[in-house]
Chains A and B, each alone.
Chain A
Amino acid sequence: MSTAGETKIAVISGGAGGIGRAVVSRLSDLGFFPVMLDNNEAAGKIVIEALRNNGTKGKFLAVDVTHKSEVQDAFNAVQRHSGRIDLLVNLAGGTLHAHAVQDFPLVEWLRVIDVNLKATFLCCQAVLPLMKAQRGGVIVNTSSNFGVTGSPTRTAYSAAKAGIVALTRSLALESRSYRIRVNAIAPGLTATERVMKLYTRENWAMQADSIPMKRVAEPSDIADGVAFLASDDSRFMSGQTLHVNGGLVLP
């Protein structure tokens, strides 16, 4: 981070995941210095290696984003090192567990809420004092079409993703006088390894066919949406959710 003060600093939670890798690469192309917070150290190293091969740099911090103290330490470290954070992208999350509601163990239900909703809250909470002091910043949270439509066996995930929409709106209102914009992106079905392995080849093709655009999202489609929300092109947008889903859900 030797060019601090010129280079914009982006913190990406869940930056080592399938969508995360595309977002990190896109933000790096746009001149951001990406700092990844993720618990998957092996995957994180691969992302850093890819950045290096591309002639750029980034940083990986092994963090469990559901733990307040770990999150706080990570943001303190970034602040010490770079002095500022221009962009926070909260990508950490996932379905994790899916059961009919009567069979959903409480501990698993809470885990889904924590990984998606609480992690988003903790990262926002940790970055806001710095962004307020800077009098500026952009936050992009990750919701899902399931946050609007719901989904059988996904009561926890749907609740968490709807929660992120409401959290995003509230935070946008709360921080508007500091020139901090807070929006969410809601990816539709996206071709990441983690998601694809849940489907047979046939089933995957059927899913794609059920989408009006007749294809699933590539991680780069989601990265393009994040890049828009991070840019000045969206400077009059805050508290909103951008659905990138090929027409699957039109809220």
Chain B
Amino acid sequence: MGRVAIITGAAEGVGQAVALQLANEGAAVVLADCQEDRLLKVTTELRELKHEFLALPTDVTNENSVMELFQQSLSHFKRIDILVNGAYLCCPAPVEDVTEGVWDNCIRTNLVSTFLCSKAVVPTMLAQRHGRIISFSSVDAIDGLKNAVHYAAAKAGIIGFSKALAIEVAPFGITVNTICLDEHSEDSAATLEQSGRHQESVGSAVFLASDAASYITGQMLVLNGVTELR
């Protein structure tokens, strides 16, 4: 396949699941995460499967760290076809307990990281006249959620950001889409393990990364698992 994908938040959860699937389908993957020990575990699995990969400890809220991630990836693989913004942080708290620090941390990890990574990858994708940017949002951005004003705001920000970027880069063969996950639904929690739920979203991410989705941009796929609810 020869595609190169960078996945942030790749050490666990949905980022990890998407990274493994893209690798299984033949893409070279760059795994970025701030949790070095967890990252090591994922790379062990990739090595056993003989996949082509790089694992780069990264602070996605820091522009210098992000620039380094993209420069190293580019110098190693010579191109970047896919960016998956999977870095994610959710610390539920009632609004009166959301200090400025908690707010900033949530906005930075979820939203600002998406901006910084997209900003870093766009020049490469523009030069290639091809690219796929896929970011993970949440149904909480649409429906709201108790004790999650900061999280809902950050995740809604990802949707707005992605739509605007989609229009900006659409003429150049770059698509930008979001996947809204349902992380908190009691119904889906009752029927699916955490890892299973992440697995449910992998197919959609891989589809958006594929040639089959070349005319889909600025859209969000809402994965609320309605058929899985009982």
**Contact for B203 among A213, A233, A245, A247, CB less than 8 A:** A233
Neighbour of B227 across the interface among A176, A211, A217, A228, CB < 8 A = A176
CB within 8 A of A233: which of B204, B215, B219, B224? Answer: B204
Q: Is the CB of A238 within 8 A of B212?
A: no
Among candidates A180, A181, A234, A244, residue contacting B204 with C-beta atoms closer than 8 Å? A234
A211-251: contact bitstring with B at CB < 8 Å (1 yes, 0 no)? Answer: 11110011001001101100111111111101111110010
List the count of A-B residue pairs having beta carbons below 8 Å apart: 97
CB <8 Å contact, B215 and A237: no
B interface SS class = helix
Cβ-based interface call for B109 (8 A): no
CB-CB under 8 A from B226, the residues of chain A are: 172-173, 176, 181, 238-239
B42 at the interface (CB under 8 A from A): no
Interface 1/0 per residue, A159-174 and B, CB below 8 Å: 0000000000000110
A177 at the interface (CB under 8 A from B): yes
Counting chain B residues whose Cβ lies within 8 A of the other chain, the interface size class is: 20 to 34
B221: contacting residue among A240, A246, A247, CB under 8 A: A240
Contact indicator per residue, chain B 137-176, by CB within 8 Å of chain A (1) or not (0): 0000000000000000000000000010011001100000
CA distance A172 to B228 in the complex (A): 11
A238 to B221, CA, bound (A): 10
Q: Which of B197, B214, B227, B230 has the most CB of A within 10 A?
A: B227
The residue from A177, A213, A246 contacting B230, defined by CB atoms under 8 A apart: A177
A179 adjacent to chain B (CB < 8 Å): yes
B230 proximity list for chain A (CB < 8 A)? 177
A244→B218 contact, CB < 8 A: no
B212 to chain A: which residues have CB within 8 Å? 224-225, 227-228
Q: Number of A interface residues, CB 8 Å?
A: 37
User: In the assembled complex, how far is the CB of residue A19 from the closest CB belonging to chain B, in whole angstroms?
Assistant: 13
A104→B75 CA distance, assembly (Å):
62
From A215, which residue of chain B is reached at the shortest CB distance?
B215
Contact B218 A212 (CB under 8 A): yes
Of the candidates A175, A177, A246, which one forms a contact with B217 in the assembled complex, judged by CB atoms under 8 Å apart? Answer: A246
| Residue in A231, A232, A242 whose beta carbon sits within 8 Å of that of B216 in the complex | A242
Residue from A188, A212, A217 whose CB has the most chain B CB atoms within 10 Å: A212
- CB-defined contacts of A247 to chain B, threshold 8 Å: 166-167, 170, 217-218
Write out the residue numbers on chain A whose beta carbons fall within 8 Å of the beta carbon of B219: 242-243, 250
Complex Cα–Cα for A242 and B207 (A): 12
- Contact A234 to B203, CB < 8 A, known contacts A181-B227, A227-B212: yes
**Proximity string of chain B (158-201) to chain A, C-beta cutoff 8 Å, 1 when within and 0 when not:** 00000100110011000000000000000000000000010011
| Binary contact readout B59-95 vs A (1 if CB under 8 angstroms, 0 otherwise) | 0000000000000000000000000000000000000
- Closest residue of chain A to B229 (Cβ to Cβ) is A176
Q: A: which residues have CB within 8 A of B?
A: 172-173, 175-177, 179-181, 188, 211-214, 217-218, 221, 224-225, 227-228, 231-240, 242-247, 250
CB<8 Å pairs between A and B, sample of 6: A173-B226, A176-B229, A225-B216, A242-B221, A243-B219, A246-B215
Extra contacts, 4 of them, besides A212-B217, A240-B222 (Cβ < 8 A), are: A213-B170, A232-B203, A238-B226, A243-B219
